[in-house]
Chains A and B, each alone.
Chain A
Amino acid sequence: MRLIWLLSPALFVIALAFWAYKENYRTKAAYDAVAQVRADISSTRSELSKLRAEWAYLNRPERLSRLADQQFSHLGLMPMRAQQFATVADLPFPTIPAAAVGASMDVSFDGGQQ
């Protein structure tokens, strides 16, 4: 009995030491991971800003208008004019062919966003 009383604190201390050792290394690994992630963030950010700059460069109005001119025969793009505005009344109603009486009907339901 006395032996157990003497040994158990010693074992407990040894266990704590193992735990502390492990925690210490886990913390260090976590720090390294954070530093790595930060470095990744920074490089991704720089990549992103480069891509954004490139996107803006490729979408500059001067280039787009040049492209629109080049592809005019295919696309026929022109600057927007007031005549292109239309009212709802100008739109033709969709023509739905009348279903024969008694014919079966497909009823579909998609999304239901109302």
Chain B
Amino acid sequence: MIRAPLRPLVKILAARAKGQNPDDIERQNIQARTNAMRETARAQAAGRLLMLGAAFLMCFGTVGMRMGQLASADPAEPTLRSSGARMLTQRADIVDRHGRILATNMETYALYAQTRDLVDPARAAAGLAQIFPDLNADDLLQDFTGKRSFVWVRKKLSASQRQAVHDLGEPGLLFGPREMRVYPNGRLASHVLGGAGFGREAVYAAEIKGLAGIESFYDDTLRDPARADDPLQLSLDLSAQAAIEKVLAGGMRMMQAKGAAGILMNAHSGEIIALASLPDFDPNNRPLPPRSGDPSDSPIFNRAVQGVYELGSTFKIFAAAQAMQMGLFDADDMIDTKGPLRWGRFKIRDFHNYGPKLSLQQVIEKSSNIGTARVAQKIGAEAQQDFLRQLGFFEPVALEMPEARVARPILPKNWSELSTMTISYGHGLSASPLHLAAAYAAIANGGKSVRPTLIKGGSGEGTQIISAKVAQKARAMLRGVVTQGTASMAQVPGYAVAGKTGTADKPARTGGYHEDKVITTFASMFPADNPEYVLVISLDEPVETSGLEARRTAGWTAVPVAAEVISRVAPLLGLRPDLREFAALN
């Protein structure tokens, strides 16, 4: 920068020439320079002040804005969406077809211990052992004084137990709220409902998980919080279910049977009105699966659904219906029943000798193995397989229970002509009573296949398997079984019953068959002229000892039980009795 001189020579010389003081010029110049410097300094200071002011404004502005925002916003506490303080009734109820409760929830408490807060562990352990007789004081004390700081004591407490624990006054014993599944009807429909238990557990909540049956199958639906208010409505009828279970239990005791199963199903919609299997259990306290022994002896085994047995002569009607459908025989056509029927080394015999010839109707009424085998020979293996597949005997029943989905029928590995003959009278093919009920429903409803369901509303119309006319003829044959044949004890006052008995020897574990252990089945439908319902009753190892010798046939065991079931259940279902049936009996 070129500085302007303070004493420029030109001006000094000019001033001297005029006789002025040249120092004035210097002073003027110094003054001007100072002024200029002050101006720049002031401008700088003003700029800095402005910057500082802006910075302060920004800071205070931010703070002020935030304060304003906080002041104007509504204070909101974080709350649950449903806003119930408790997470109650998360799992939907299960009700029967009339809305009566089969499963619901209750509040309860779980008991746990914070061992570090226990004042007197020994006293607490002794007190708890007194309240809960199944707990051991020594074990509890060991838990309380061991390394663990947190010990679960009980998963469910009743109100009085909770009070008793309160009264111990021990600060280390604490309660966690729980929801528990309750089956108010106890053992009723236990196999259908299955039972529930706790899944993942935390102190303040635990998830309820279906363990078996419908609870397990519909676990996701029942747990869906959005649907917690709409109960799952089953097709079961509570009163019919209770009646069947009671009659079955009585029948089982009278016939000294090991187990019993009963299925009552709507023949048109496939809705299961009652499904019972004895022995049963209390779903409030579901027993554990057996570790050893035969699983079918356990009470949690569902004979009606899981029990895959040879169902014996109840199968004969399928051969007869198919023969009529194919046009091979009619109900009155005579069939050679001279016995024994030999096939290779194998002989087929009848229970009694029924003479050389019987009509197809009589073959069914008298339950002739030979006659049915001859019919099956005519039908042939392929056609028989197709027919039985259509009736559903090749696949597990698609019922809404996990147990049903795995109960696969046992089919012969090699479907020979002999298999065709034996299967026609129910030997060599094992299926569950539920399979049988579904197949009988097809005959009952005029030839349409039926998919059994536990949900109210039914499963809709199936495909036509046999013509309505053949179905009607088959029903007439089944009616004949009751009026003149093996099921004469199924004469129920007021209701015409049609059905077929079946007695099958139980297969021994060692191979072959037991001599004196049978499974008797009665598959029936009522009212016979236009059936609404199908009933299958099956008894495991029954024996009827009122006569001189022990009787084990279905006609003496399963049939009277079924008759009692029908006479109890039909009025409950609102079926109008047929007055002619009273007249026929009197």
B477 → A minimal CB distance (Å): 24
Interface string of A47-90 (1 = CB under 8 A from B): 00110111111011110010000000000000111111101000
Which residues of A sit under 8 angstroms from B74, Cβ to Cβ?
27-28
Contact assessment for B567 and A60 in the assembled complex, using a CB-CB cutoff below 8 Å? no
Q: Give A61 to B239 CA distance when docked, in angstroms.
A: 7
8 Å CB contact of B84 from A38, A55, A82: A38
Contact assessment for A46 and B184 in the assembled complex, using a CB-CB cutoff below 8 Å? no
A104 → B minimal CB distance (Å): 45
Which residues of B sit under 8 angstroms from A60, Cβ to Cβ?
184-186, 188
Which residues of A sit under 8 angstroms from B186, Cβ to Cβ?
60, 62
* Stretch of B50-58, B366-374, B490-498 that contacts chain A: B490-498
Contact assessment for B101 and A42 in the assembled complex, using a CB-CB cutoff below 8 Å? no
Interface status of B36 (Cβ within 8 A of chain A):
no
Contact assessment for A82 and B493 in the assembled complex, using a CB-CB cutoff below 8 Å? yes
Q: Give A84 to B579 CA distance when docked, in angstroms.
A: 12
The residue of chain A having its C-beta at the shortest distance from the C-beta of B245 within the complex is A61
Contact assessment for A52 and B572 in the assembled complex, using a CB-CB cutoff below 8 Å? no
A86 → B minimal CB distance (Å): 10
Contact assessment for B105 and A42 in the assembled complex, using a CB-CB cutoff below 8 Å? no
Q: Give A82 to B582 CA distance when docked, in angstroms.
A: 9
Q: Give A82 to B184 CA distance when docked, in angstroms.
A: 30
Contact assessment for A49 and B89 in the assembled complex, using a CB-CB cutoff below 8 Å? yes
Which residues of B sit under 8 angstroms from A46, Cβ to Cβ?
86, 88-89, 107
A16 → B minimal CB distance (Å): 15
Assuming the contacts A39-B83, A39-B85, A45-B88, asked whether A85 and B571 have C-beta atoms less than 8 A apart, the reply is yes
Contact-size category for A: 20 to 34
Q: Give A50 to B184 CA distance when docked, in angstroms.
A: 11
Contact assessment for B576 and A85 in the assembled complex, using a CB-CB cutoff below 8 Å? yes
Interface status of B243 (Cβ within 8 A of chain A):
yes
Interface status of B246 (Cβ within 8 A of chain A):
yes
Which residues of B sit under 8 angstroms from A39, Cβ to Cβ?
83-85
Contact assessment for B101 and A52 in the assembled complex, using a CB-CB cutoff below 8 Å? yes
Q: Give A28 to B77 CA distance when docked, in angstroms.
A: 12
Interface status of B570 (Cβ within 8 A of chain A):
yes
Q: Give A85 to B495 CA distance when docked, in angstroms.
A: 12
8 Å CB contact of A82 from B187, B238, B239, B577: B577
Which residues of B sit under 8 angstroms from A57, Cβ to Cβ?
182, 184-185
Contact assessment for A42 and B82 in the assembled complex, using a CB-CB cutoff below 8 Å? yes
Which residues of B sit under 8 angstroms from A55, Cβ to Cβ?
101
Q: Give A42 to B84 CA distance when docked, in angstroms.
A: 5
Taking CB atoms and an 8 Å cut-off, the chain B residues in 486-507 that contact chain A are 492-495
Contact assessment for B83 and A79 in the assembled complex, using a CB-CB cutoff below 8 Å? no
Give the total number of A-B pairs whose CB atoms are below 8 A apart: 98
Contact assessment for A61 and B185 in the assembled complex, using a CB-CB cutoff below 8 Å? yes
Q: Give A30 to B431 CA distance when docked, in angstroms.
A: 64
Interface status of B242 (Cβ within 8 A of chain A):
yes
Which residues of A sit under 8 angstroms from B79, Cβ to Cβ?
35
Assuming the contacts A38-B84, A42-B82, A80-B571, asked whether A49 and B104 have C-beta atoms less than 8 A apart, the reply is yes
A49 → B minimal CB distance (Å): 5
Interface status of A15 (Cβ within 8 A of chain B):
no
8 Å CB contact of A42 from B88, B187, B238, B576: B88
Contact assessment for B188 and A84 in the assembled complex, using a CB-CB cutoff below 8 Å? no
Which residues of A sit under 8 angstroms from B550, Cβ to Cβ?
none
Interface status of B411 (Cβ within 8 A of chain A):
no
Interface status of B7 (Cβ within 8 A of chain A):
no
Interface status of B106 (Cβ within 8 A of chain A):
yes
Which residues of B sit under 8 angstroms from A52, Cβ to Cβ?
101, 104
Interface status of A14 (Cβ within 8 A of chain B):
no
Which residues of A sit under 8 angstroms from B580, Cβ to Cβ?
none
Taking CB atoms and an 8 Å cut-off, the chain B residues in 112-160 that contact chain A are none
Which residues of A sit under 8 angstroms from B242, Cβ to Cβ?
61-62, 65
Which residues of B sit under 8 angstroms from A87, Cβ to Cβ?
579
Interface status of B568 (Cβ within 8 A of chain A):
yes
Assuming the contacts A82-B577, A83-B494, A85-B576, asked whether A53 and B106 have C-beta atoms less than 8 A apart, the reply is yes
Taking CB atoms and an 8 Å cut-off, the chain A residues in 16-46 that contact chain B are 27-28, 35, 38-39, 41-43, 45-46
Assuming the contacts A61-B242, A79-B243, A84-B571, asked whether A42 and B188 have C-beta atoms less than 8 A apart, the reply is no
Assuming the contacts A45-B88, A82-B494, asked whether A53 and B107 have C-beta atoms less than 8 A apart, the reply is no
A-B contact pairs, 7 of them (CB 8 A): A27-B74, A42-B83, A43-B84, A53-B105, A57-B184, A60-B186, A85-B577
Closest 9 CB pairs of A and B: A42-B84, A82-B494, A61-B242, A56-B184, A82-B577, A57-B184, A56-B101, A38-B83, A80-B571
B residues apposed to A, CB below 8 Å: 74, 79, 82-86, 88-89, 93, 100-101, 104-107, 182, 184-188, 238-239, 242-243, 246, 492-495, 567-568, 570-572, 576-577, 579, 582
Instruction: Please give 6 more A-B residue pairs, beta carbons under 8 A apart, in addition to A56-B184, A80-B572, A82-B495.
Output: A27-B74, A53-B104, A56-B104, A57-B184, A82-B494, A82-B577
